[in-house]
Amino acid sequence: MIIKAVDLGLSKELTGEVNPLKKYIKILTKEPKTFKKIYGFPSSKSTFRKYSFPFKDRSKIEKAVRTQLQIDLPFPLEEVEYSYYQRYEKNKSELFCVIVKNEDIQNIKDGDIIDSEIFALLRLAKFNNLNDCEILHFSKGYIVYLKIKNQFIDQVRVLSDITEIPQNVYLSGDIPENVEGIKLLNNPENDPSLNVAYGLLLRGIDDTGIDFLHRSEETYVERLLKGAVYLTVAILILNVAFFIKLSLLEKQLRQIKEKEKELFVKGFNYTGEVFDPLEQAKGKIASLRAKSVSKEDAVDILDFMGASKKGTGIISIYKISITSERFSIQGLAESIKDVEKFKNNLSKRYSTSIDETVSTPEGKVRFSISGAVR
C-alpha cells in the first residue's frame, strides 16, 4: 500500500510504501502514479472535547456525543464536522473528539483520509514506545502542547507562543534555534519537522486516529450486513452441493448447521456488559443525595469566580457548569497570560487546571478551565 502523507500545519509531505503485516514503512523518493492520500489537519483550526460514557454501543455513543456537542459548542452543530477516537476499558468508553469548521474540510478535495495532526503525533509516540509523555510540537504560526497518558490523548492546548520549556517535554516539529530541550521526538528520517507526516504514514500500520471524511470507519450495521451476506453465500454453496451429491445429504446438513452457528456467533454475538436501567437510576439518585452541592455552596463558588476574574483581562465568561464534584468555565480572554492569572486566582481555593486554549482570528484566546469542588 502506497501512502502520501501531507502535514497541512507545516506543509510537509512524505510518500511511503507501507506493509501492514510486517509493520514496515519504506520512504519513496519518487512519487508513484497511484497512492492513498492522508492529510493531517492543523490543531490551530480545531477545537477538542474529551468524553467518557458507561457503555460501548456505537449507536448509543454517537447519539451521546452529538447531544453533548450541542450543549458544549457555542455555535450550531450543522456548521461543523467532528470525528472521535474511542477506546473501551474498565467498563467505560473514553472518547477524544476533534471539531472543525465545515468549510475547512470542504476545501480539501483529494483526500482519502483527513486525520488530525495530534493523532499523527500520538502514533509516532507509540512508535517510539512512549506510553506517557508530553510533547511540544512547533508548527507554522502556532505551538501544540500534547499530553499523552496510557497511549491516549489526555490534554491538548494550542499556544501562540511559549516563554519557558517545561521539563521532561519532548520537542517536535520546526523547532526554533533559540529553543533548547533535552528530549527530542523524532522519526526514522531524523527530521523532527517531518514528525506529523511520518505519523500519518503510520496510519497504515496503526489505525489509532480519526477521519473527518468518515470513509475509513465501518459501522456496526455494516459488519452485521456483511455477516448476513457471508451466511447467505455459505448456505447457497452448501445447498448446491446438497443437490449435486444426494448421497452426502446427512453430512452436508451437519456442516450447514455448524457453519450457520459459527457465522451467527461471529456476526451477531454481543460481548458488552448489560446494565439494568432501574438499578442505574437508583444508583445515580443515591449518589446525588450523598454528594449534592447545596445552593449556598454554588453561590459561594460563583462569588469566588467573580472575584477571581477581576483584574485578569478576562473579556467574558459564556458558560459555567457546576456539579457535585467539579466545575468548568468557558470564556474569552485577551491573552494566555490572562488565562493563567485567572486560573491561579481560582487555585487559591480550588484545585484547577486549564483544559484548552485556542487563539481566535481576532487575536483573542478562547479557554476552558475546570476544577474540583471538594
DSSP assignment of 124-152: HHHHTT-SSEEEEEEETTEEEEEEEETTE
Q: Which residue did the predictor score with more confidence, 245 or 220? A: 245
Percent of the residues in the chain that have a pLDDT greater than 90, as a whole number: 51
Q: Give the pLDDT score at 311.
A: 84
pLDDT at 189 over 50: yes
Report pLDDT for 324: 73
**Greatest CA separation for the chain:** 92
pLDDT, average across residues 359-373: 88
* pLDDT tens digits for range 107-130: 998 999 999 999 999 999 999 999
pLDDT given for residue 282 in this prediction? 45
pLDDT given at position 203: 94
How high is the pLDDT of residue 323? Answer: 80
Per-residue model confidence (pLDDT) at position 340 = 92
Architecture of domain 2-204: 2-Layer Sandwich (3.30)
DSSP 58-81: HHHHHHHHHHHHHHH-SS-GGGEE
Is the pLDDT higher at 173 or at 266?
173
Residue 274 confidence (pLDDT): 41
Let me know: does 195 contact 185? Beta carbons within 8 Å. Answer: yes
Q: What is the DSSP string of 16-73?
A: EEEETTTTEEEE-SS--S--EEEEEE-GGGEEEEEEEES---HHHHHHHHHHHHHHH-
Residue of 82 and 257 predicted with greater confidence: 82
209: region left, alpha or beta (phi > 0 left; psi from -120 to 50 alpha) = left
Query: Which pLDDT does position 230 carry in this prediction?
Result: 59
Cβ pair 28, 15 in contact under 8 A: yes
Supply the pLDDT for residue 130: 95
Q: What pLDDT, on the 0 to 100 scale, is given for residue 142?
A: 96
Please report the pLDDT score of residue 369 as a whole number.
92
DSSP H or E segment with residue 117: helix 117-127
Write out pLDDT tens, residues 225-263: 455 565 666 667 766 665 666 666 677 777 776 666 565
Phi and psi, residue 115, nearest 5°: -100, 175
By the 10 Å C-beta count (0-12 exposed, 13-18 middle, 19+ buried), 123 is classed as buried
**Average pLDDT across the chain, whole number:** 83
Q: Is the pLDDT of residue 279 over 60?
A: no
Which one has a higher pLDDT value, 305 or 159? 159
Residue at grid coordinates 456467533: 265
Pick the CATH number of 295-372 from 3.40.50.300, 3.40.50.10490, 3.30.1360.100, 1.10.645.10: 3.30.1360.100
The stretch 8-21 carries a mean pLDDT of 94
